[in-house]
A and B are shown apart, each in its own frame.
Chain A
Amino acid sequence: MPADSKTAQPELRRSVTPWGSFSWGYSDVGADIFVGLGLVLAWAAGASNVAFLFAGVVYVCIGLAYTELAATYPVAGGGQYFVMRGLGDIFGFIAGWAVLLDFTIDVTLFAWTSVDYSSQLLPALVNSVHPWLHFGVVLGLVVGLCLLNVIGVRESTTFNGVVSALDVISETCILCFGFLFAFRPQLLIHTMQTHWPSPYELMLGTSLAIISFVGLESISQAAQETQRPASIIPRTSVSLILTILIFALAYSNLALGFQPWHPITDAAGHHLQFWQIFPNNPDNQGKAVALLAAQVPYYGAFAALYVPVLGAILLLISSNSGVFGSSRIAYAMSTSNLLPSIFQRVHRKFRTPMISIVFFSVIAVIELVFAAAPALFPAVSSLYTRFFHGENGLGFLADLYAFGAATSYSFVFLGLIGLRLTDPLSPRKFKIPLNVPMRFRGEQVEFPIVAVIGFIGIFSILMFTLFTHPLGRIFGPSWLLLGLLFYLVYRRYRRLPVLGSQPRNWRTAQTEILRRAGELELMDEYVANLKASDARRAGQGT
């Protein structure tokens, strides 16, 4: 009997606690600063904290949008579901396809940096010294995670929680000791005034800063498995958003005004500021937090030993969430007829979506080959230098990560605005602030100003990405075009509306979503809103 998803895939158990919900999001987004810090310091130099501030403000808007949407529509589909419901099938596909790019990049990028952090303790793993060994270990990790996901082994919520708690404590200690004993406000100001980057470098740095805030899909994934999500999700999300923002701003400010514990010198013996060890040094860019932790007075002696290990574990969890998340998003897209039903098939024995997992892991491996090629083959390196401004492996992955995130987040803002206008009757226990009341199609709606601000911000970052990333502006749009072509052929083959949307009964769907979430009061409120609206329309009709 073929394993049909609708019968073989059991409903997800709603057992995630508030802390579980926080740690789920934290293990996804919290790891990003381990990757983003070095890259942003390398390009935005004296304006790194400004780059993080700009990306951080946009991120707060995105976080609030996801919180509202996940609390209102607690389903695991995430961005693609919200966009599909707000704007229609084709836009839902584009948003979901961009998220899938991000998840596959997530697998490779985080496995890559996990190895970079390990190289702090195991110098044989340094990419520039042993590129084949580095490539082999990253490949081994990607294949290993794929196999673990196929046989259905996931890290437990408890493990996620413990690692997240250890990381929050660790980062807090690093920042406390750093700000107490090594931070000089005058040095920060001096660095910002004397090493301000060019506009091109600032745009590049800002587009890279957004990768420190990617992973908010986890909020909606957690919503599907949280009891009473409309109450729990806003509480945990606001804490998560602020915690991530604080860490990003704190690290960037500290790094620019940081007096290292041990003097840092270049090959000629000249003293360097801490942030100056990152430009033109991909090995250092991949392990920035470990390098900073080791230079924190007193605490650094201890941190130098464990931060590389903790970072590597957190990054590996994040990499695993890419394997798991891509298969789950593909499954959700497949149930909405945005992707073929093959992505819903589950393995008879392991009861996991094996085809999805293997398919997106293979894409992750292809991306790894593209990223590692310049280091592995000198001939390819000269090609990259000639055509792509000499972008290195980490830069290539970061380019695509930023592109995928900026694209999907742009659509999520539009989806939020669309849903506010077309679905005003769904009860929203959490609303992003600053709304303008107005009437739309006979209903009282609230137009979200923050969503417009967020859209302008994230769209600017998308433009920065396209303008400043030679590889990103080729591979990112190519990914979207290929996907769109495939979508058009598939929908035509299935005789479904190609540019339009499949007819769906969102009223029944929403009632069912709220019932399954245990939000019975909200379900009653929704049904009452529907009845009142229908009665009003009937009254107007007569």
Chain B
Amino acid sequence: MLFFRGLLAVAIILCGLVILVRMAAALPEGRFTVLPGIVLGVAMIALGVHRLSLIARVRGMM
């Protein structure tokens, strides 16, 4: 179960990275309009990292 949760957390981080890269690519023409998208990508990465840290803590306790 922990393995699948970890996999999901990594998937969330990857999705966040993809969104971040796509938004960053549109930065020259979009300028500030890509800001909400960049925050979205950062939030996804933060969620994934938070989930991974919880899993690491649980594994440390086992």
A residues engaging B (CB < 8 A)? 49-50, 52-53, 56, 176, 179, 185-186, 188-189, 192-193, 235, 238-239, 242-243, 245-246, 249-250, 252-253
Contact = CB atoms under 8 A, between A and B. Distances in A.
Interface of B: 15, 19, 22-23, 25-26, 29-30, 33-37, 39-40, 43-44, 46-47, 50-51, 54
B33 A253 contact: no
Q: Classify the interface of chain B: helix, strand, loop or mixed.
A: helix
Contact of A52 (B19, B25, B36, B51): B36
Contact of B40 (A176, A243, A250): A250
Given A185-B22, A185-B26, A242-B50, A53 B35 contact: yes
Q: Classify the interface of chain A: helix, strand, loop or mixed.
A: helix
Contacts of B44: 246
B36 A189 contact: no
B23 A185 contact: yes
A252 B33 CA distance: 13
A246 B47 contact: yes
A250 B15 CA distance: 12
A189 B19 CA distance: 15
Contacts of A252: 36
Given A242-B46, A242-B47, A250-B40, A189 B26 contact: yes
B33 A245 contact: no
Given A53-B39, A186-B26, A193 B33 contact: yes
A384 B50 CA distance: 48
A249 B47 CA distance: 14
B32 to A, nearest CB: 9
Contacts of B33: 188-189, 192-193
Nearest to A60: B43
Nearest to B22: A185
Contact of B36 (A53, A179, A193, A239): A53
Given A188-B37, A189-B34, A253-B37, 11 more contacts: A49-B37, A50-B36, A53-B39, A176-B15, A188-B26, A189-B26, A192-B30, A242-B46, A242-B50, A243-B47, A249-B39
Contacts of A186: 26, 29
Contacts of A176: 15
Contacts of B47: 239, 242-243, 246
A50 B43 CA distance: 15
B30 A238 contact: no
